[in-house]
Structure 1
Amino acid sequence: MKAKREKGKLLRVRAGIVPGLFTMANMFCGYYSVILSCQGKFITAAWLIVAAAVLDVLDGKLARLTQSSSDFGVQYDSLADVISFGIAPSMLSYYVFFQNWGTIGLLLSFVPLVFGSIRLARFNIRLVGHDKKHFEGLPSPAAAITIATFVIFSFDAWGLLQWSKVFLGVILLVSLLMITLIRYETMPNFSLHSSRANRLKILSVVIALLVLLFFPQEAFFPLAMVYVLSGPLRVIWLLVASNNDRESTEEKENKE
């Protein structure tokens, strides 16, 4: 019996190696992105942040698939995320747009790192993540992707990196949304026996992936902004619907 438990424990450890390798790859992408930002290779640095986000999704999926999730894995993943979705986008922001803004530029580019680290710390405490039906606040990978793809979109659309004031608005928006309690949807479960709502989410993801396949530079930032704005727009929609229901109830009571 003891030998069987030891064997099961060993198998879980071995299974946990693969998700750990993906976490390391995520961390490396963030680390290399920082180096490339310092060297002025901004587009490649931005794509590395996107690659880190993909690896972050995969390591979580693999950990659950192999039933190798652990407290160590959660903490290690968060450390990787601080690098890839905190330090890397902050460094990219500084060197692309804010290095000529002096101390103000330094502080503004620091914002994604500060709010991203707060978001990740809260995530670890509450453990509200992919196993749940939604996120509380904008996920840090989504915020980092939005920042990175703005750089890609700007270069593709105008051939140069400009619109620093618009970029500032994007940074402040995604940073603040990370620490709110606004609900954001998680990735759908790809199952044949899923609910209608989940099937619609799967369809949306498939359509988005097809668009990105053919128009990666042009479509990534707009699609990222759709996700970013989906949280606040949902809150507004619920408030309006709630207000309409209340007015309808009051009208019925007055008629009676």
Structure 2
Amino acid sequence: MADFIATLSPDSTIWISDPGYINHRPLMEGAGLTVDTYPWQNKNGQLDIDACFAALEKAKEGDVLLLHACCHNPTGIDPSLEQWQIFSDKCKQKNIVPFIDMAYQGFGDDPDADAAGLRLMIEDADFAFIAASCSKNMGLYNERTGIATVMTTNHERHADIQTLLETITRANYSMPPNHGAAVASYLLDSPDAWLVELASYRDRVDTIRQALGAALKDRGAPAEFLDISQQKGMFSLLPLTENQMLILQDEFAIYGMPNGRINIAGLKMTEIPQLAGAIISIISR
């Protein structure tokens, strides 16, 4: 998708969230594109919608707005449907192209609800990009299985778009391995058992979130730590400084990213009291 954009519109700026998925910037810059950012999370662990749109006022016609479809990485903060509509209206108003990255479908509420924002954007758009991954929700991480979609209401452009995508694909990797795609196709043809298993993943992550939030609340953690129970998906940002994250590592052998990102799915229920106690110990100093 980055190469596609760079071929058709090399002067476009790609707008990504800050904080956001760590690989978005190098992917886009690797294709020669300019990247700028819009704020996402405020200090209270909520979507900073006003700051987001204040930054996007600088976006120009033809720029690309990259949004996480659900389970925002790394904050776990997703827009409401009303906020998705505001994003859609902003794209139409400024003639910005939406680019939806769907990496965690099924890890938020359910596969259908997790796609609601994406569908709203697509219904309103004349042109849009979608990148969807099967890595997490189908357990195909090492297979790198997914789909790149270019959506346009101009049917006369379909053949040219397909030709360009095939040319880019040929230059990048020629032909992908078939194994992951075959697994994905099999699951989508008969999805019931897969959806039950996916629900168990989702329920486990949510249970850990609720338990960690409750453990922090019981220990008197400040309000900004308790939003972790309301966020979605595999990741959240602890409101800790880089130095505090180092203390968490050095004194408690609990590892996260310097910006506070933790992998909720990597926690066991038995480890929650240890993590909550360590956090309280650090912020009480």
Q: Which structure shows the higher strand fraction?
A: 2
TM-score range, shorter chain: under 0.3
Tell me the TM-score normalized by structure 2. 0.23
Tell me the TM-score normalized by structure 1. 0.25
Q: Which structure shows the higher helix fraction?
A: 1
